[in-house]
């Protein structure tokens, strides 16, 4: 197989040539949320096209840039847009940026997404703290850790129980409470997409115990946990995914993202301001 560590190092070298700042938090921005990176202090921007192994983004609402700077005093690396399995990429390609962000120095992943709410009493614009996930593509064999495992990156069989850090969840709850922002909590279910779900599929999602459904995030969290990163996930409910409700469309996703931007930006800034900047996460001694 290709030497993944060499590929990671090639990408890391391109980025570190642009900045001496060592980011500690990787922030992945979902559909309609790219403008949150406008809040960075002293940012440097690297287009994905200039980073080996990064792919072009093809989905409206995903800019295709890596921005490194400080947000709320915290050194961060922000992905303005992500890659999706439904775009025709492998799960390894989708998650490669997370490995690069880890190599840059990130010990924490904060992933955001746009999601469909599975409860009739939820509202467009609600924020949901992800407490757990259901990875249907992974359970069906489309898994980012499938294939030979490089022990320098992580163990063969990483545990996914408590994949979402409990201390960070408590921090998010406290931040939302202090800001007066209602914060729902629940299980995020990933489907491969790109078609929005049928009524029967939405009923299945609800029966499986999911609270929100989307097409991203979980592969990135799996790979981050494989490398020992701490993870937090936030879903912006951009539509109500109800079997008897109106059909979903991507335009409403983007509009909901724009409307909720001040609220989610305030929450993320508060979370970042209170993350312990001295915390380190045990990783392999051969980490790139």
The pLDDT of residue 135: 98
pLDDT at 2: 58
Are 112 and 235 a contacting pair, CB within 8 Å?
yes
Note if the pTM is more than 0.85. yes
Q: What is the pLDDT of residue 33?
A: 74
pLDDT value at residue 68: 97
**Angstrom distances, CA of residue 274 to CA of 170, 268, 278:** 11, 10, 11
Looking at residue 18, its pLDDT comes to: 95
CA distance 164 to 172: 12
Determine the pLDDT at residue 32. 66
Residue-level pLDDT at 62: 55
Spell out, as residue ranges, where the chain has pLDDT lower than 70.
Answer: 1-2, 31-32, 59-62, 250, 277-288
pLDDT at 288: 39
Angle (nearest 5°) at CA 168 between 286 and 238: 110
pLDDT of the residue at 61: 55
Q: Check residue 56 and give its pLDDT.
A: 82
Nearest to 96 by CA among 145, 133, 44: 145
Q: What is the pLDDT of residue 278?
A: 37
Catalytically active residues, by annotation: 31, 62, 84, 86-87, 114, 215-216, 239, 250
Q: What pLDDT sits at residue 60?
A: 61
Pairing of strands 212-214, 65-71: unpaired
């Amino acid at each position: 197989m290709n030497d993944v560590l060499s590929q990671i190092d090639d990408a890391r070298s391109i980025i570190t040539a642009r900045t001496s700042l060592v980011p500690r938090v990787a922030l992945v921005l979902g559909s309609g949320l790219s403008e949150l990176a406008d809040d960075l202090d002293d940012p440097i921007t690297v287009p994905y096209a200039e980073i080996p192994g990064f792919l072009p983004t093809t989905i409206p609402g995903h800019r295709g840039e890596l921005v490194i700077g400080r947000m709320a005093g915290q050194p961060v690396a922000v992905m303005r847009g992500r890659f999706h399995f439904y775009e025709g990429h492998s799960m390894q390609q989708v998650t490669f940026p997370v490995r690069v962000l880890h190599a840059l120095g990130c010990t924490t992943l904060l992933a955001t997404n746009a999601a469909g709410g599975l409860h009739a009493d939820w509202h467009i614009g609600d924020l949901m703290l992800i407490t757990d996930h259901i990875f249907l593509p992974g359970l069906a064999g489309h898994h980012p850790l499938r294939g030979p495992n490089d022990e320098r990156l992580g163990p063969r069989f990483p545990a996914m129980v408590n994949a979402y850090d409990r201390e960070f969840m408590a921090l998010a709850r406290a931040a939302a409470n202090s800001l007066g922002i209602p914060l729902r909590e629940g299980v995020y279910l990933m489907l491969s997409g790109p078609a929005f779900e049928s009524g029967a599929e939405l009923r299945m999602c609800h029966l499986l115990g999911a609270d929100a459904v989307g097409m991203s995030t979980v592969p990135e969290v799996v790979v981050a946990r494989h490398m020992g990163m701490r993870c937090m996930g936030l879903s912006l409910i951009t539509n109500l995914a109800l079997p008897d409700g109106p059909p979903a469309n991507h335009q409403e996703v983007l509009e909901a993202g724009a409307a909720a931007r001040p609220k989610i930006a305030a929450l993320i800034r508060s979370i970042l301001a209170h993350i312990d900047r001295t915390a380190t996460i045990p990783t392999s001694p051969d980490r790139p």
